[in-house]
Chains A and B, each alone.
Chain A
């Protein structure tokens, strides 16, 4: 699966890139919204994984444009209580709340790949 990974935290970006690559995915790592859009247009990823605080492009706009390209988005978010409403507000396919383990992420990606979008947060 080709994954666009857009996270502002460079350590997390590097770690997850490596881990997802080890899991057999192809990862396009970027750290802001503008890059995310250009990479999405160029690489046509299967899924976009975005941090909720991604700079430079408002989240709903970003997700809307990704959806226009046929790309679903998985959001990383830090507030479990607002996760559900975030899905409604931004149009993200799913939300995963920090802190999560690599297992959590793997399960969620698997579920999304199978087309079952969980709104439930871990």
Chain B
């Protein structure tokens, strides 16, 4: 297939069909459609050859050739009998630029390094052969003019007959001594010297990309190494544009997705948030709803007592009212943690102050209170909520301790750790259930309580981004809070 097609204007310029073939292949690989030179696809003289393949006698097409191959009068590129007749020597050349299928076998045999005979009957007739002007300033002479006659163009998909003729490429041939020779030069961005140097670098390679926009292919034929370098910038530019558009599309798509997700998730999680808010509101509302009735009952019981003297019934009512009053206040403090204040204070001071106030109660019950509190622990948070939490912890420990309670406050690295321990009758194991609302553990018995105290502690700790856990080990119930 290495067939020389022409010598132009005395410059020893040769056009190698395989070269063009390779270029075409490189071009066509974008579309995955076999083109130019894939003669196998079209059986010789087969009537089944694609109608657009220009196979067979092209002479009947000659008259139809459009006039856009300017300068054809001198190009000699397969223009039969026109312009370049003096250099046409090989009439047997395969009509790479002309009818392909019909003379395929001839073309394969003939591989002299000369251009094909312009008079080849298979080449299309140019209507304006004599009148052409030069096309292109650089290398215009060497522009292949009639690639459009390539068989298979009709199957090129998006490409048109202009695709190959408009290809910008150069070919350098190296002989065995490694001397380079420009076979074909049809690029503007490089000088011939640069092209030679570039090809020299590439000749040991096979195929790939160079200088970003050039694709190259190296092949060896008849003792020569050919390096074809094909400019793909025009192919790449739309690709980059496509890529850019795709990326923008992706970006927009992602934005839409995220927007959709944001909208949906808001809707999805709203019930949860609402439930949480409703729960908090419920506690608040419950507190308020109980406030006045409890006051009314308390007032009325007081009146009855004063008028009729105390009775066991009114005493019982009073006790129940007190219990419900305490419960109501706790409900209120549970909902309090929702709007946490942000104070700066010393947590150690707060614990000490709170335990001081509880000391009497401990003494009354005969429970030993031990404090292990080091230096100051600067803290930022809702002082009131934490004070209430410490009070609840002390209250709870006192309530369920057998004989001793200890409070330990220390810093571990960046963390503040508060541990509250009391001896207990509970079996060993985790006891985090103690933090659940209205939950009382097995040892609660008839100890008064609402099952709310520690749930308030939990709320307060979580509101301060702390963690807490409760467990029983070796008869000691311990709550560990880490801020």
Q: What's the Cα separation between A9 and B290 when bound, in Å?
A: 13
B143 within 8 A of A: no
B60 at the interface (CB under 8 A from A): no
Q: Are B336 and A81 in contact (CB under 8 A)?
A: yes
In the bound complex, residues from chain B placing their C-beta under 8 Å from that of A78 are: 287-288, 291-292
In the complex, B9 has a CB within 8 A of chain A: no
Q: B295 touching A98 by the CB < 8 A rule? A: yes
Cβ B303 vs Cβ A19 within 8 A: yes
The closest CB in chain A to the CB of B328 belongs to A99
CA–CA, A78 to B288, complex, Å? 6
Quote the shortest CB–CB distance from A32 to chain B (angstroms): 16
Contact of A42 with B by CB under 8 A? no
With A and B bound together, what is the CA distance between A78 and B325 in angstroms? 12
Decide: A79 near B298, CB < 8 A? Known: A19-B303, A22-B306, A99-B328.
no
List residues of chain A with CB within 8 A of the CB of B300: 11, 15
Q: Does A18 count as interface, using CB distance less than 8 angstroms?
A: yes
Minimal beta-carbon separation of B343 from chain A (angstroms):
14
- Tell me how far the C-beta of B8 lies from the nearest C-beta in chain A, rounded to whole angstroms: 98
Q: Among B287, B296, B300, which residue has the most Cβ atoms of chain A within 10 A?
A: B296
Closest residue of B by beta carbon distance from A51 = B292
Using CB atoms, name the residue of chain A closest to B325.
A99
Q: Are A99 and B298 closer than 8 Å at their CB atoms?
A: yes
- Contacting pair B298 A102 (CB below 8 A): yes
Asked if B85 is at the interface of the complex by the 8 Å CB criterion, the answer is: no
* B286-325 interface with A by 8 A CB criterion: 287-288, 290-292, 294-296, 298-300, 302-303, 306, 321, 324-325
Residue pair B292, A15 in contact (C-beta under 8 Å): no
Nearest-neighbor residue (CB-CB) of A81 within chain B: B336
**A1 at interface (Cβ–Cβ under 8 A)?**
no
> Judging by beta carbons under 8 Å apart, are A99 and B288 in contact?
no
Kindly supply a per-residue 1/0 record for chain A positions 87-111, scoring 1 wherever the CB is within 8 Å of any chain B CB and 0 otherwise.
0000000000111111000000000
Complex formed: what's the CA distance from A11 to B336 in Å?
Answer: 29
The list of the 8 closest CB pairs from A to B, nearest first, reads A98-B291, A99-B294, A15-B299, A102-B302, A78-B291, A78-B288, A99-B295, A99-B325
A99-B324, A99-B325 given; 20 more Cβ-contact pairs under 8 Å: A9-B296, A11-B296, A12-B292, A12-B299, A15-B303, A19-B306, A79-B284, A79-B287, A79-B332, A80-B329, A81-B336, A98-B292, A98-B294, A98-B295, A99-B290, A99-B292, A99-B294, A100-B295, A101-B298, A102-B299
